[in-house]
Every structure is written in structure tokens, then in C-alpha cells.
């Protein structure tokens, strides 16, 4: 599986991941995704945005994802757009 470098933009994953921080991820090729993992995915409303969020809930082939920032206005996540499909996942953070 290919390794990808992803640069965090914004504060939605603070304090775990900071703006400008680079993380190493493994390309998603169908491996299991578990709660608490960080995933990189195509934003469901804007395919020009690649988002990074933490998996809170796995339900069938869908994921509920949230930013780590305790400020609810700091993250555009499943609270805004609902569950995401596994098919939109690009990578899983190592």
C-alpha cells in the first residue's frame, strides 16, 4: 500500500493535529476502518476539498467523522454533512 503525505490545513483537528503539520497516511484500499482512526477523504459537498477527520462511529459501510477541536464551529464534519461512504476515503493516518 502506498504511503501519502498530507498537510493539515486549519484548526479542526487541534489539539491532536496542528495547522501546517504533515502526517503520513496509508492509501485506503479496502482495509478495515475503526473508530478513533484519522481518515483523509473527499468532502461530500465539495470534491475540491480533501478533509481530515477522526472516525467516531462505523455503521455498515458508512463513517461518522468529527474534528478533534472542542469548539463545535471549528470543524465541518458529520455534524454538518452526515455519514460519509467508505468509497470517499482516500487514506488512513498511520
pLDDT, tens digit, for every residue of 15-37?
A: 999 999 999 999 999 999 999 99
Is the C-alpha dihedral spanning 46, 26, 72, 19 positive or negative?
negative
Residue 61: pLDDT over 90? no
Alpha carbons 6 and 29: distance in angstroms, whole number: 17
CB 92 within 8 A of CB 31: yes
3-93 has which fold? Answer: Umud Fragment, subunit A (2.10.109)
Q: Give tens-digit pLDDT for 78-93.
A: 999 999 999 999 999 9
Q: Give tens-digit pLDDT for 45-58.
A: 998 999 999 999 99
CB 8 within 8 A of CB 26: no
pLDDT of residue 71: 93
Please enumerate in sequence order all residues whose Cβ is within 8 A of that of 70, keeping only pairs 6 or more positions apart, or say none.
none
Nearest 5°: the CA angle 58, 21, 89 is: 30
Residue 65: pLDDT over 90? yes
pTM: 0.94
Amino acid at each position: 500500500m502506498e504511503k501519502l503525505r498530507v498537510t493539515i490545513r486549519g484548526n479542526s483537528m487541534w489539539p491532536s493535529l496542528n495547522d501546517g503539520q504533515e502526517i503520513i497516511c496509508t492509501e485506503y484500499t479496502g482495509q478495515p476502518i475503526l473508530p478513533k482512526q484519522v481518515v483523509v477523504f473527499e468532502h461530500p459537498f465539495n470534491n475540491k476539498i480533501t478533509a481530515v477527520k477522526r472516525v467516531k462511529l462505523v455503521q455498515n459501510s458508512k463513517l461518522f467523522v468529527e474534528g478533534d477541536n472542542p469548539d463545535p464551529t471549528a470543524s465541518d464534519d458529520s455534524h454538518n454533512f452526515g455519514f460519509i461512504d467508505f468509497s470517499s476515503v482516500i487514506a488512513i493516518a498511520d
